[in-house]
């Protein structure tokens, strides 16, 4: 491994090509070659946006695309989880309600400020106009546990917690009438799952719970929109394989009494041939292996990442 590896995504400065595509009668996908995606539901009388982009300046581009196809008011913003790169653009939409699971709300209380500082340090390109983010946190105005149903006129939209995975608060947006799902970061495609706040033991079952809904179209957290049952199944499968491969490698190292550094080097070498071409592989691996090692040893729940802890971890594993 090169000692020249730049911290997290600080070397990633290349602009991404944006796609805005319709997936089903009411669902649209805003995707950007592996950058964080946004899902859009255009109902009879209102628009719902799931995951807001990292800053209001970036959210403005999403709004511009929505306005090319509808003038209906954007009433709802859904936070599929608490990560800053997903939520700090929320103010741009001026929604009537910001919806999230109660678990996500609790995580914002517990670690929102630390996570914000940490993520801004990791992703300078995504937080370029960070001065446009209002002071403080993006707070949900309404929370739920398990399931909540919204009606956009006659269109039924379900917000579901199908289990822990990427975080403990993960929420998916499901259109039962169109079999279309907005997964947040529970599912990625051609992009490395970030698992620094994950529950590795739970994540595969949560993906099985998504599969049980039988989605025909899916907007993943990163990567291209998935159309048709075969593509959706592939997205679920490759996400499950990555999570399982990484955790079994780290768990084996921990059981053998190896330290985190050794577990990291072994797991990186084991996963690089299969997953090394995925977007943000080098960024995610140190965070993912650290969390997996924690879960395999003594921390059932993810520890809080701070900007300082990020740097210390990176120097330990990549220095």
Q: Are 32 and 14 in contact (CB under 8 A)?
A: no
For the chain, which ranges sit under pLDDT 70?
A: 1-5, 7-14
Listed by start position, the domains of the chain span: 19-245
Q: pTM of this prediction?
A: 0.94
Q: Give 41-58 pLDDT, tens digit per residue.
A: 999 999 999 999 999 999
| Residue 132: predicted pLDDT | 85
Mind listing the pLDDT tens digit for each residue in 70-110? 999 999 999 999 999 999 999 999 999 999 999 999 999 99
Res 11: pLDDT: 57
pLDDT computed for residue 196 by the predictor = 97
List beta partners, residue 27.
41
The answer to whether 289 and 264 are in contact (CB under 8 A) is yes
Q: What is the pLDDT of residue 136?
A: 82
Contact 80, 54 (CB under 8 A): no
The pLDDT of residue 8 is 54
Other C-beta atoms lying within 10 Å of the C-beta of residue 243: 27
Q: What class is the 19-245 domain?
A: alpha beta
């Amino acid at each position: 491994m090169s000692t020249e590896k730049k911290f997290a995504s600080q070397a990633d400065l290349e602009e991404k090509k944006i796609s805005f595509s319709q997936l089903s009668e009411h669902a649209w996908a805003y995707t950007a070659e592996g950058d964080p995606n946004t899902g859009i539901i255009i109902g009879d009388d209102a628009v719902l946006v799931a995951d807001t982009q990292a800053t209001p300046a970036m959210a403005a581009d999403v709004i511009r695309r929505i306005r090319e196809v509808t003038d209906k008011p954007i009433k709802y913003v859904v936070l599929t989880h608490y990560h800053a790169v997903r939520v700090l653009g929320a103010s741009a939409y001026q929604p009537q309600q910001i919806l999230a699971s109660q678990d996500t709300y609790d995580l914002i209380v517990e670690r929102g400020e630390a996570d914000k500082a940490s993520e801004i340090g990791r992703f300078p390109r995504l937080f370029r106009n960070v001065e446009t983010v209002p002071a403080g946190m993006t707070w949900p105005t309404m929370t739920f546990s398990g399931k909540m149903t919204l009606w956009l006129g006659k269109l039924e939209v379900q917000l579901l917690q199908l289990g822990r995975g990427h975080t403990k608060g993960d929420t998916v947006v499901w259109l039962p009438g169109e079999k279309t799902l907005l997964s947040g970061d529970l599912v990625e495609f051609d992009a490395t799952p970030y698992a620094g706040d994950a529950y590795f033991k739970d994540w595969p079952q949560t993906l099985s719970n998504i599969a049980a809904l039988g989605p025909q179209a899916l907007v993943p957290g990163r990567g291209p929109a998935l159309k048709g049952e075969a593509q959706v199944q592939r997205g679920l499968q490759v996400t499950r394989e990555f999570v399982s491969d990484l955790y079994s490698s780290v768990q084996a190292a921990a059981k053998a009494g190896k330290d985190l550094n050794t577990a990291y080097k072994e797991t990186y070498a084991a996963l690089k041939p299969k997953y090394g071409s995925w977007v943000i592989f080098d960024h995610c691996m140190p965070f993912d292996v650290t969390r997996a090692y924690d879960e395999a040893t003594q921390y059932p729940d993810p520890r809080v990442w701070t900007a300082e802890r990020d740097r210390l971890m990176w120097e330990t594993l990549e220095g």
